[in-house]
């Protein structure tokens, strides 16, 4: 959507430059390692993240080198070029966008600062000059950036609160060398070896885990770490002191004063609308992803309501939405997509990727992702972003994060009912179970849930044992490989006393980051910027402070979002009773002989590496749906691709 009227004049409110880009750098006592040619190789590997230009810089003493590739979201002048310098002292490379940079710029103007560009990059530099590491507390945005202070010989790098933008690094404390980049492949381009972390691979094969819940630094490569979300890195090069600090965290136990539903809806809507509005700041075409579910539909509905009420000069017919549909597949959502587009009158473009697209795109998707992914649903997202690029849309709003913060998955019902058992009693819990809108969600509720409600620590231990047994009893894992690489930390299960406990775990330790990684790599593969309105930190803080019944009530998840949207969206969407993940017809595809041949070759490779036992070669391939339990054959395909 073109977010400015035809024949308009640009205003300060809607004029910004954001950088969905690639960054890379080297800091070293060995000046020969800070080599322009190495930095250029790193940037070449990241060229897809910034196809509109690149730049590099090396410090006067040859101890710091930066590289940057640029994806322009509007016409760029030389003033917006990166690496960017300030006061002859600071140099920055930056990937992301500070959504509140206009407001910050006004505050800095009051302090007497003037500006050479119209970028949020310059705002970060000046904020760092004013507040040093505390600057990150002022930012509402998605970002990964690095600043070199030539005067103090300090590198400061930071990542946004939820980990929307990536930051990988490798630090050798023997020769005091630090490599960092937006993607792992840039570190390989710099010469770092590709050393698989076999504990990560083991847990992916046997359990499907792509994260270590107790180690936010872990990647699938033992010599490469990621800067965790909501952390900053500070490397004082003069005294060789390397520190990583968490700068933000949610207080999941904090509760706001009692609110009536109407008051809660008003506050939620104000925060959500503000978040959407800020993420619409651009001078290029903006569109949205649209699955047909509540989250993406809420974003579309909010955009149209916002422009209808507040910006009558805008052409609403320019709104473009992009969807993946699979006609004939039981979880196809085209019915809801078409219903919404007919009611709200916007353009919807649909792609229907099939087995041929999976086969043709598989290597490319794996290349961009760099680490294993759990299902072929990845390909649908990849194709949606590709379609947006083909329609000249550079920015997409997307609904990720809503399920984790608003209890959108049906698995959360059990935790909610257990909380009610303890806080309100058996009768309240039973009433809620009977009102369930999805009968399948109550399947499996039994005496164990009663024990878990009143003995949560014991329940956590029992769940850990169950996961451990599942791993150890995997039918085809090589026992020596299992014994050598078993890591108890992967099996961690949180003590869940209330719904917020499991929501916090899935938002900040195990779950959301995986989805954000998928979205970042798939979008940047096509030069697309993805913005996530549900991940405004003030909105998330508010949601975590709400009582549980504002999230689940009378058999419905996301109750506060549903009530906020019921006047905007068709009831069939606002009050949908089913929950469909972003799925593809994977089970059907896995019957394809070419896919089965690839899986068999993957098994042979894993047997040769002594990861699987030879008897796996005689076992029939078991086609599974994308979100189905025991999706082992897909994991074998992934493991062989990356190991």
Per residue in 479-521, pLDDT (tens digit) is: 999 999 999 999 999 999 999 999 999 999 999 999 999 999 9
The pTM score is 0.93
Question: Is 80 exceeded by the pLDDT of residue 582?
Answer: no
pLDDT score recorded for residue 613: 97
Question: Is 90 exceeded by the pLDDT of residue 10?
Answer: no
For 394-408, the pLDDT digits (tens) are 899 999 999 999 999
Interhelix angle 355-369/632-642, rounded to 10 degrees, is 50
pLDDT score recorded for residue 133: 98
Instruction: Produce one character per residue of 36-74: b if its CB has 16 or more CB atoms within 10 Å, e if not.
Output: eebbebbbebbebbbeeebbbbbbeeebbbbbbbbbbbe
Query: Is the separation of the CB atoms in 322 and 387 below 8 Å?
Result: yes
DSSP classification of residue 279: T
Separation CA 86–CA 552 (nearest Å): 49
Of 412, 379, 384, which is closest to residue 396 (Cα–Cα)? 384
Alpha carbon 331 to chain centroid distance?
Answer: 23
Separation CA 556–CA 564 (nearest Å): 14
Instruction: Work out the mean pLDDT of the chain and round it to a whole number.
Output: 91
For 164-191, the pLDDT digits (tens) are 999 999 999 889 999 999 999 999 999 9
Question: Is 60 exceeded by the pLDDT of residue 309?
Answer: no
What mean pLDDT do residues 295-319 have?
74
pLDDT score recorded for residue 58: 98
Percent over 90 (pLDDT), the chain: 82
pLDDT score recorded for residue 569: 97
Contacts of 399 (CB under 8 A, 6+ apart): 289, 291, 293, 295, 296, 298, 299, 532, 533, 534
pLDDT score recorded for residue 73: 52
Question: Is 60 exceeded by the pLDDT of residue 35?
Answer: yes
Q: How confident is the model at residue 286 (pLDDT cuts 50, 70, 90)?
A: confident
Query: Is the separation of the CB atoms in 575 and 589 below 8 Å?
Result: no
pLDDT score recorded for residue 20: 61
Interhelix angle 499-508/412-423, rounded to 10 degrees, is 150
Separation CA 448–CA 493 (nearest Å): 16
Question: Is 90 exceeded by the pLDDT of residue 388?
Answer: yes
pLDDT score recorded for residue 148: 98
Longest pairwise C-alpha distance within the chain: 74
For 510-569, the pLDDT digits (tens) are 999 999 999 999 999 998 999 999 999 999 999 999 999 999 999 899 999 999 999 999
For 417-436, the pLDDT digits (tens) are 999 999 999 999 999 998 88
Query: Is the separation of the CB atoms in 557 and 406 below 8 Å?
Result: yes
pLDDT score recorded for residue 231: 98
Q: For CA atoms 528, 320, 280, 507, give the dihedral sign.
A: negative
Separation CA 388–CA 544 (nearest Å): 33
Of 144, 131, 139, 136, which is closest to residue 182 (Cα–Cα)? 144
Q: How confident is the model at residue 271 (pLDDT cuts 50, 70, 90)?
A: very high
Query: Is the separation of the CB atoms in 557 and 579 below 8 Å?
Result: yes
pLDDT score recorded for residue 1: 27
DSSP classification of residue 227: P
pLDDT score recorded for residue 12: 30
pLDDT score recorded for residue 253: 87
Q: How confident is the model at residue 310 (pLDDT cuts 50, 70, 90)?
A: low
Separation CA 406–CA 552 (nearest Å): 8
pLDDT score recorded for residue 318: 74
pLDDT score recorded for residue 117: 85
Q: Two tokens at 321?
A: 């939405």
Count the neighbouring beta carbons within 10 Å of the beta carbon of residue 168: 22
Question: Is 80 exceeded by the pLDDT of residue 80?
Answer: no
pLDDT score recorded for residue 17: 44
What mean pLDDT do residues 10-27 have?
61
For 216-236, the pLDDT digits (tens) are 999 999 999 999 999 999 999
Question: Is 50 exceeded by the pLDDT of residue 157?
Answer: yes
Q: Which residues are catalytic?
A: 21
What mean pLDDT do residues 8-18 have?
34
**Cα angle for residues 107, 111, 116 (degrees, 5° grid):** 80
Separation CA 162–CA 228 (nearest Å): 9
Distances (CA, A) of 477 to 107, 568, 601, 606, 625: 59, 51, 16, 10, 22
**Strand 177-181 relative to strand 225-226, pairing:** unpaired
DSSP string, 440-501: GGGTT-SHHHHHHHH-HHHHHHHHHHHHHHHHHT-TTB-HHHHHHH--GGGG-----SSHHH
pLDDT score recorded for residue 627: 86
Alpha helices in 227-376 (DSSP H): 261-278, 294-310, 334-344, 355-369
Partners of residue 147 on adjacent β-strands? 92, 156
Question: Is 90 exceeded by the pLDDT of residue 313?
Answer: no
Q: Two tokens at 367?
A: 């290349």
Question: Is 60 exceeded by the pLDDT of residue 132?
Answer: yes
pLDDT score recorded for residue 78: 65
């Amino acid at each position: 959507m073109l977010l400015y009227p035809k024949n308009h004049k640009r205003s300060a409110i809607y004029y910004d430059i954001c950088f969905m880009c690639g960054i890379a750098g080297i800091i070293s006592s060995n000046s020969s390692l800070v080599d322009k040619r190495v930095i250029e190789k790193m940037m070449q590997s990241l060229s897809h993240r910034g196809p509109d230009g690149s730049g590099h810089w090396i410090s006067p003493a040859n101890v710091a080198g930066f590289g940057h590739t640029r994806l322009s979201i509007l016409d760029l002048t030389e003033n917006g070029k990166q690496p960017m310098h300030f006061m002859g002292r600071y140099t920055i490379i930056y990937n992301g966008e500070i959504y509140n940079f206009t407001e910050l710029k006004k505050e800095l103007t009051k302090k007497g600062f003037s500006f050479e560009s119209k970028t949020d990059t310059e705002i970060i530099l000046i904020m760092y000059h004013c507040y040093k590491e505390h600057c990150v507390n002022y930012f509402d945005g998605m970002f990964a950036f690095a600043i070199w202070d030539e005067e103090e010989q300090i590198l400061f790098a930071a990542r946004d609160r939820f980990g929307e933008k990536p930051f990988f690094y490798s630090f050798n404390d023997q020769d005091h060398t630090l490599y960092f980049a937006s993607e792992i492949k840039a570190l390989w381009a710099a010469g770092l070896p590709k050393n698989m972390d076999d504990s990560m691979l083991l847990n992916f094969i046997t359990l499907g885990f792509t994260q270590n819940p107790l180690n936010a630094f872990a990647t699938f490569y033992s010599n490469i770490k990621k800067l965790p979300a909501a952390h900053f890195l500070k490397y004082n090069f003069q005294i060789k002191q390397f520190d990583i600090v968490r700068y933000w965290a949610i207080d999941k136990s904090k509760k706001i004063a009692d609110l009536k539903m109407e008051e809660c809806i008003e506050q939620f809507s104000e925060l959500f609308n503000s978040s959407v509005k800020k993420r619409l700041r651009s001078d290029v075409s903006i569109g949205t992803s649209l699955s047909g579910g509540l989250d993406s539909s809420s974003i579309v509905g909010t955009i149209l309501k916002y422009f209808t009420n507040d910006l009558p000069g805008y052409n609403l017919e320019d709104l473009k939405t992009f969807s993946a549909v699979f006609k004939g597949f039981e979880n196809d959502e085209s019915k809801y997509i078409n219903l919404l587009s007919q009611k709200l009158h916007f353009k919807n473009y649909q792609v229907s990727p099939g087995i041929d697209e999976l086969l043709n795109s598989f290597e490319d998707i794996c290349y961009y992702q760099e680490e294993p992914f759990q299902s072929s649903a990845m390909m649908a997202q990849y194709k949606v972003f590709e379609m947006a690029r083909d329609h000249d849309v550079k920015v997409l709003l997307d609904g990720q994060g809503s399920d984790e913060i608003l209890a959108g998955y049906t698995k959360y019902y059990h935790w909610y009912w257990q909380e009610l058992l303890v806080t309100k009693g058996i009768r309240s819990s039973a009433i809620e179970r009977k009102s369930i809108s999805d009968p399948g969600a109550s399947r499996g509720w039994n005496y164990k849930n009663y024990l878990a409600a009143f003995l949560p620590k014991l329940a956590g231990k029992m769940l850990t044992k169950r996961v451990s047994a599942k791993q150890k009893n995997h039918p085809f894992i090589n026992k020596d490989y299992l014994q050598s690489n078993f890591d108890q930390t992967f099996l961690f299960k949180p003590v869940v006393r209330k719904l917020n406990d499991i929501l916090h775990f899935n938002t900040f330790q195990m779950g959301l980051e995986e989805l954000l990684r998928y979205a970042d790599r798939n979008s940047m593969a096509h030069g697309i910027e993805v913005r996530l309105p549900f991940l405004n930190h003030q909105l998330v803080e508010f949601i975590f402070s709400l009582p549980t019944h504002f999230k689940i009530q009378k058999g419905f998840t996301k109750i506060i979002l549903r009530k906020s949207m019921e006047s905007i969206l068709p009831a069939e969407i606002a009050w949908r009773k089913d929950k469909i993940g972003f799925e593809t017809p994977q089970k059907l595809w896995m019957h394809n002989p070419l896919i089965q041949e690839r899986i068999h070759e993957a098994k042979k490779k894993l047997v040769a590496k002594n990861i699987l036992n030879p008897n796996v070669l005689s076992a029939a391939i078991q086609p599974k749906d994308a979100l189905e339990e025991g999706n082992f054959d897909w994991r074998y395909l992934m493991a062989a691709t990356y190991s």
